[in-house]
Amino acid sequence: MKSISARQTGIIVFLTILANKILVLPSVMYEKSKADSIFALIAIFSFELLVLTIFLQVKKAHPDQNLKEILKQKVGVVVAKIVIFAFLIFFLFKTMLTYSVLYIYLKDLVYQDEFGFLALVCLFPVVNHAVVCGLRAMGRTFELFYYIVLVGVLFCLGIAFFTDISMPNFFVASPTEILNSGFTHIFAFGDYLALFLFIDKIKLRKGEGKKIFFFAFVGIFLVLSIFVVFYSKYQVTAFMHNNALADLLIFSVQFNAIGRLDIIAMLTIMTLGLFQLEIFQAAFCESFVQVFEKLSIKYAVAVFDILFFVIYLVIIKKYEIMLSFATDYLIYFAILTNVILPILIYALAHKHKKELSNEKSD
C-alpha cells in the first residue's frame, strides 16, 4: 500500500486547518461576536487538538487497519458503513463550501462576472487527476508547495503591518454571542477528520506524532494571526470585508503608488484552495470505496463529479445559498461529525484495545 509520511500528514493537517477560515469566516464571525470571535476560535481549535490526539491514539492502537475495519470489529459492518457514510456526506458538502468560498474570492477580485462553469471545468480535471493518482502523489505535491504557501500567507500578514493597525476592543460580546458565533460556523471546522479516512495510509513511527502536532500548531497560529491582524486593521468595518487574507494586502492611500500586490494573495489562496479541494475529494472517495467495496476509486471520482454538478449546479445553484445552507442546516450535521463521531471512534477503538489486552493477559 502506498503510504504517506508523518511530515506529509502534518502538511495535510496544516492545509485543512486553513480551509474555509482565511477568507469569509473572519468577516461573518465578526458580525456575530465582534473581535471576541477569536475566543470562539481558540475554544474550537482546543477541541480540534483533542481530536488530533484521539486520532493519534486510534492510529497507535490500530496501525494497519482502515476506519471501516476498526469499527466493524466492534459494532458490525452496518454501523461502520453508516459512520463512514456520514463522513462521505460531510466531505461532499465540505468540498462544496470550499469551492464556494474560493469562487466568491475569485469572482470579487479577479473575474467580476459569473464564471461558475469555467471554474468547474478548470478546477475539476486537476482535482480528479490528483485524487486518482493517490494520496502519496498528493502528499509529495503538498510537501513541494508547503513553503511557498507558508511564505505567501506570512507575506500577506507582514504587509498588513505597514498600514495603520491598532488592537481591536475585546470583551465586547457576551458569552452567549461568542458561543453562538462558534456554533453557527462549526461546519467550517473539523477539516482534518479526513485523517480518520486515510488512517491506514499514514505511516507513523514512534514519536512522529509530534511532527503532526507541530504542523497543526503552525496552522492554528496562522489562522489566529490572520483573525487578529484582520480585526486590528479593519476593526468596525471587518464585516464588510469578505476576503480576509487578500484584504490584508489592501493598502491605505499612502501606499497606492506601489501598485497592486494582490497577485501574491491570489496565488496563495488559489494554491491553498486547490489543495484543500483535493484533500476533501480524496476523503469523499476514500469513504465511498469503504462503503461500496466493489467499486474502485475511479468510480468514486465519477460519482463525486456527478453528485457535485447535480447538487451544486442544479439544486443549490448559487454559492450564497451554499454559505447560508452551511450556517443554517449543516451545523447540526457538523456537530455529529466534528464532535460525536471522533469521541465514538475513540471509545470504540479504546474498548477494543482493552479487550485485546484482557485476552492477552488471560
Partner 1 sequence: MKKVIDAIKKYPFILIFVLILVVFTPYSLFSPGESRKRAVVIAIGLDKIENEYEISFLTFIPSPNQEFQQSNSVVSGKGSSVSEAVLDAQLTLGKDIGLSHAKTTVVNERMLEEDVSSSLDYLMRVVSLPENTVFICTNTTAKELLMATDSLEQNLGLKLDQLVSYNANEVYITDTSLEAFYKGYYSPTKSSLIGYIEHIKDSTQSEQAAPQNQSSSQGSGDSQKSSQTSSSQDGQQGVSDSSEQNSSAVSSGQSENEKQRGSLQGQSQILNKGDAVLLRDGQKVALLDVDNLNSINLLSNKRSLDSITITDVETEDGKKVDMTFMVKNKIVSVKTDFQNNIPLFVANINLGVQQSEIDTKAQKVKQNVQNTQITEEIAQKLEQKIKAEFAKVLQILRENKADVIGVYDSFFTHNRKEFLKFLSSLDDSESFLNDVVFMLNLKIQQDG
Paired with 4 in beta bridges are 202
Which DSSP symbol is given to 168?
A: P
| Terminal alpha carbon distance of the chain | 34
Stretch that binds partner 1, among 154-162, 204-212, 223-231, 254-262 (CB under 8 A): 254-262
> Rounded to whole angstroms, how far apart are CA atoms 186 and 193?
13
Nearer to partner 1, 253 or 315 (CB): 253
Stretch that binds partner 1, among 98-106, 107-115, 136-144, 272-280 (CB under 8 A): 107-115
Nearer to partner 1, 167 or 356 (CB): 167
Considering the rule CB under 8 A, would residue 114 count as an interface residue with partner 1? no
In the complex, minimum distance from the CB of residue 314 to partner 1, in angstroms, rounded to a whole number: 21
Q: Are the CB atoms for 57 and 346 separated by under 8 Å?
A: yes
Considering the rule CB under 8 A, would residue 361 count as an interface residue with partner 1? no
Is residue 108 helix, strand or coil? helix
> Rounded to whole angstroms, how far apart are CA atoms 123 and 66?
29
Binding mask 160-179 for partner 1 (x = CB under 8 A): ----x----x----------
Report the residue from 129, 210, 317, 318 that binds partner 1 according to the rule CB under 8 A: 129
| Helices first, then strands: H and E counts in the chain | 15, 0
Which stretches of 235-340 are DSSP H helices?
244-247, 262-291, 297-308, 319-328, 330-335
Considering the rule CB under 8 A, would residue 252 count as an interface residue with partner 1? yes
In the complex, minimum distance from the CB of residue 237 to partner 1, in angstroms, rounded to a whole number: 5
Considering the rule CB under 8 A, would residue 125 count as an interface residue with partner 1? yes
Considering the rule CB under 8 A, would residue 253 count as an interface residue with partner 1? yes
Q: Letter for the amino acid at 221? A: F
Binding mask 57-96 for partner 1 (x = CB under 8 A): ----------------------------------------
Considering the rule CB under 8 A, would residue 237 count as an interface residue with partner 1? yes
CA 150 → CA 17, 38, 66, 109, 194, distances in Å? 13, 21, 31, 21, 21
Report the residue from 46, 174, 254, 324 that binds partner 1 according to the rule CB under 8 A: 254
HSE at residue 144, side-chain half, CA atoms within 13 A, is 8
- Rounded (10°) angle between helices 25-33 and 37-61: 120
Cell readout for 213 is 502536532
Nearer to partner 1, 65 or 235 (CB): 235
Cell readout for 27 is 468577516
Nearer to partner 1, 89 or 109 (CB): 109
Stretch that binds partner 1, among 15-23, 73-81, 211-219, 252-260 (CB under 8 A): 252-260
What is the contact surface with partner 1 in residues (CB under 8 A)? 108-109, 112, 121-122, 125, 129, 164, 169, 234-237, 240-241, 250-254, 256-257
